[in-house]
A and B are shown apart, each in its own frame.
Chain A
Amino acid sequence: MSLSSAANPTLLRISGLTVRFGDFTAVESLDLAVAPGETVALVGESGSGKSVTSLAVTRLLDHAGGRIVSGQITFQDREGRQRELTTEAPEAMRRLRGPEIAMIFQEPMTSLNPVLKVGEQITEAIRLHQGMDGAAALAEARRLLEKVRIPEAARQLERYPFQMSGGMRQRVMIAMALSCRPRLLIADEPTTALDVTVQAQVLRLIRSLQQETGLGMIFITHDMGVVAEIADRVVVMRRGRKVEEGEVNRIFAAPQHPYTKRLLAAVPVLGSLADQPLPVPFPMPDAPPPQPLDTVRPEAEPVLELRGLTTRFDVRRGWLGRVVGRIHAAEQVSFSIRPGETLAVVGESGCGKSTTGRSIIRLEQPQSGEIRFAGEDVTVLDRQKEARLRRGVQFIFQDPFASLDPRLTVGFSVAEPILTHNLLQGRAVQDRVAQLLTQVGLGPEHARRYPHELSGGQRQRVCIARALASEPRLIIADEAVAALDVSIRAQVVNLMMRLQQEMGLAYLFISHDMAVVERISHRVAVMYLGQVVEIGPRQAVMNDPQHPYTKRLLAAVPVPDPARRGHDRGLDDSEVPSPLRRPDDMPEVAPLVPVGPDHYVARHRIGGLY
């Protein structure tokens, strides 16, 4: 990097930037420089000021209610003039945004206009900034879509954003950002909302486009794995201040600041437990290295058994509500979980992993199949069975804030299962709530607080306390740590593992995060298009994946090690097909065949043969 920055003058230089929202200082005396062709990753957890920095550079801050209190942002434009962005007139800024500084955001659906065709939106940008007319602009739009590797570009121009998948929409956003040939690209968590395999595709695309065009890039992310994949230089931010800056290899190899160390320590590295058959909690700084936990009781009767669970959603259309299609969310799902065991269900959005979990507790109504809880058939619920199921199986949702009633105190939410199942009365309820809150690492005083008074990590702890309140035997955790910052995620995962050890809980851990899954699970089930395609001991599935989809999923996980970047890990650009089928078109369920001890893989029929 030192070479290129010597050859090229700096593209963007931020010095002493301080941004305030009212009395709140979001960014404080930040220094940052970006050279042409360089990728600077801005890393930090929520509220660290990384997105505010990007808003300051583009001056979209003016619309967000923030104020640049001091500092300079110097940008060298196409003509080589030095522009001072903090004092530039709004009209001049508008002309800079797009042709000089382009942005891509986290959520491509909300960044695209839903009522305009993709082609119209791209050509609009081209016409505005490049002054091309209709036909030429359309041809340019097609060229751009081809450049971002969208298959059948000409046909895609005619589609609306809602007709495209998340990955395709993000590609369209990238195409639009590049349409004006910007010199600085600000990417704000562009892959956070995408599935891993799609994320890998998009990251690779961004990297290759950058190499072609030589643009400078600020890449904002919280994911150290993504940083290792894409960054040249890393700036670590915390509470609006830069705590460390350095070249990417140096940051990963020898972090200096304790916060960077913590951040890196909390990043799960896939493959770190390749030699360890048992789950191991995340290592914590200043703590002895964690020991593997042996919690499964193999001789015991399974807590939960699913046999051929099938849940489909009818898609109706027209006046009479005719069924025009079905979403096959879960097809013939079978597995069992033993006491003290964690079965992870992994797969990408729409693979049916959440539906499977929700079907077990009847938040969705399964069409067929059998659900046995603690040896009892609970497929058809009567009053007693429902009470036993609702007490014995608890569910933790992804969004802890939304899953707590905002008008009730934390204490009441935790007490609700106890009251509902009439487990304790009077004073004993409060004591139990205090005990549960202590157990999950909160204090009894939190009982009087409301959910909005707690942080994300604390809220998820409340949800765990609530799940423990009815003394369940199985907890279904649906992406329970996905919304948390990395360091908090590690703490919550460790908490769940500790509770498993103490109480012999079984977990159905639904997740898309392979690295967390590696830490917590005994066995892994991989779902694809509503079917389990591979299931087996965690070590066997992760070290020796048999199904092509499992292989693809594992290959796509970003590796938080810049030294291992670049070697092509055989990604393909294909899309996951839709689980929506015509009513008369039943999917073929591939039978699972054993390939190792307790390890099964779906064998698909090819040309009439298995």
Chain B
Amino acid sequence: MIDARIDDITEADLDSGTSVPLEIRSPLAEFWRRLLRQRVALVAGLLILVVIVAAVAAPWIAPFDPAEPDYENVLAGPSALHWAGTDAYGRDIFSRIIWGARISISVGFLSVALGGVLGVTLGLVSGYFGGWVDNLVMRLCDVMLAFPGILLAIAVVALLGPGVANVIYAVAVFSIPIYARVVRGSTLAVKQTLYVQAARSIGVKGLKLVLRHILPGTLPGIIVTTSLRMGTAILVAAGLSFLGLGAQPPSPEWGAMLADGRSYLGVADHLTFFPGLAIFLIVLAFNLLGDGLRDALDQKLRP
């Protein structure tokens, strides 16, 4: 009855304990494997990458100077020379969109970074301390979330005055409660994990406990939120500029370009179509990437 191979029981393999049937991957490898399955998100990510590269390399790749008027050639439609046509001053719209990407991407990035840092801090404090601190922070977040984001941003710009820098602050402000909520939730969950209890039991506490053990556990939520907020931030920043509260003409900001082109709707639709398309695509891409990241990072959706 005995298997022919009275085999191979070495001290080492008995020591190895369990031979795990399905290879346990590292969390990072598992994340990559799952992200690579999110085709749509990968395409979105690629588009974002292209836009970022274009924004950085704008001086070298933009075919025309974005501010150089050409009165011979105003309101010209798309052509081989001017891919997206020219505006009322004869400026090349395609070049202006490339330059505009610099503004949109940096406004999005800076405002989300600012809002993220503040929101994550508030979320960690709220979740870690709990009690009245938690109540206070969360009720403040409720108040901020009660206003639509764009209204809040308009209010901030109204206080600080128009301009790109103030748009960054304005957009950052309404990202704060979103981050705070997301991070508070995962902080509460991570706080309950055995490894945080184990760290507490050996005497790790305070800032060390939060930065070393709790914050890394909340990163998945932060990453997803960041991608989704980037889309929203760019949209709102463009909206503020459209309303004349953000970047001022002749700056090639996408929202400002929309506002400029508005007078020529029906006459020269490409003035609004191409900046609108740029806004639409980049916002969509950030949202799709965010969705893909969420699916790849979410333990509960494991296939």
Contacts and interface: CB of A to CB of B under 8 A. Distances in A.
Interface of A: 21, 24, 26, 45-47, 49, 52, 239, 241-246, 256-259, 262, 361, 363, 386-387, 390-391, 394-395, 397, 399, 402-408, 416-417, 420-421, 441, 450, 452-453, 455-458, 463, 466, 470, 484-485, 487-488, 491
B201 A363 contact: yes
B241 to A, nearest CB: 40
21 contacts: A46-B18, A47-B18, A239-B19, A244-B1, A245-B1, A257-B6, A262-B14, A390-B203, A394-B202, A395-B201, A402-B194, A403-B195, A403-B197, A405-B213, A417-B203, A420-B202, A455-B16, A457-B17, A470-B202, A488-B15, A491-B15
A363 B200 contact: yes
Contacts, number: 118
Contact of A258 (B1, B9, B17, B19): B9
A487 B17 CA distance: 8
Interface in B1-55: 1-3, 6, 9, 14-27
Contacts of A387: 203
B211 interface: no
Range for the number of chain B residues in contact with chain A:
35 or more
Nearest to B20: A47
Contacts of A452: 24-27
Nearest to A51: B21
Given A390-B202, A420-B203, A246 B15 contact: no
Contacts of A258: 6, 9
A237 B208 CA distance: 47
B85 to A, nearest CB: 51
Nearest to A388: B203
A390 B16 contact: no
Contacts of A397: 194, 197-198
User: Which among B22, B200, B201 has the greatest number of chain A C-beta atoms within 10 A?
Assistant: B201
Given A441-B15, A457-B16, A405 B197 contact: no
A52 B203 contact: no
8 closest A-B pairs (Cβ-Cβ)? Answer: A390-B203, A457-B17, A455-B17, A402-B194, A403-B198, A46-B18, A47-B19, A403-B194
Interface of B: 1-3, 6, 9, 14-27, 193-195, 197-204, 208, 212-213, 216-217
B3 A244 contact: yes
A420 B212 CA distance: 12
B9 A457 contact: no
Given A399-B194, A485-B17, 7 more contacts: A24-B23, A256-B1, A363-B197, A390-B203, A402-B195, A416-B202, A456-B17
A421 B199 CA distance: 12
A21 B22 contact: yes
B299 to A, nearest CB: 12
A458 B2 contact: no
Contacts of B202: 390, 394-395, 416-417, 420, 466, 470
Contacts of B23: 24
B26 A453 contact: yes
A544 to B, nearest CB: 36
Contacts of A408: 212
B216 A407 contact: yes
B21 A26 contact: yes
Per DSSP, are chain B's interface residues mostly helix, strand or loop, or mixed? loop
Contacts of B16: 455, 457-458
A77 B237 CA distance: 71
A394 B21 CA distance: 33
Contacts of B213: 405
Of the listed residues A397, A455, A484, the one surrounded by the most CB atoms of chain B closer than 10 A to its CB is A455
A43 B195 CA distance: 32
A406 B194 contact: no
Nearest to A390: B203
A470 B198 CA distance: 14
Contacts of B6: 257-258
A470 B15 CA distance: 26
A421 B17 contact: no
A259 B18 contact: no
A416 B198 CA distance: 11
Contacts of A239: 19
Contacts of B25: 452
A111 B290 CA distance: 34
A458 B217 CA distance: 24
A417 B208 CA distance: 12
Counting chain A CB atoms within 10 Å of each CB, which of B1, B17, B20, B25 scores highest? Answer: B17
A21 B21 CA distance: 9
B76 to A, nearest CB: 56
Nearest to A242: B3
B26 A257 contact: no
A387 B206 CA distance: 14
B203 A259 contact: no
Contacts of A262: 9, 14
Contacts of B212: 405, 408
Contacts of A463: 198
A258 B6 CA distance: 7
Nearest to B3: A243
Contact of B21 (A52, A259, A395): A52
A390 B195 contact: no
- Residue of B18, B20, B22 most packed against chain A (CB within 10 A): B18
B200 A257 contact: no
Contacts of A363: 197, 200-201
A386 B18 contact: no
Nearest to A235: B1
A387 B203 CA distance: 7
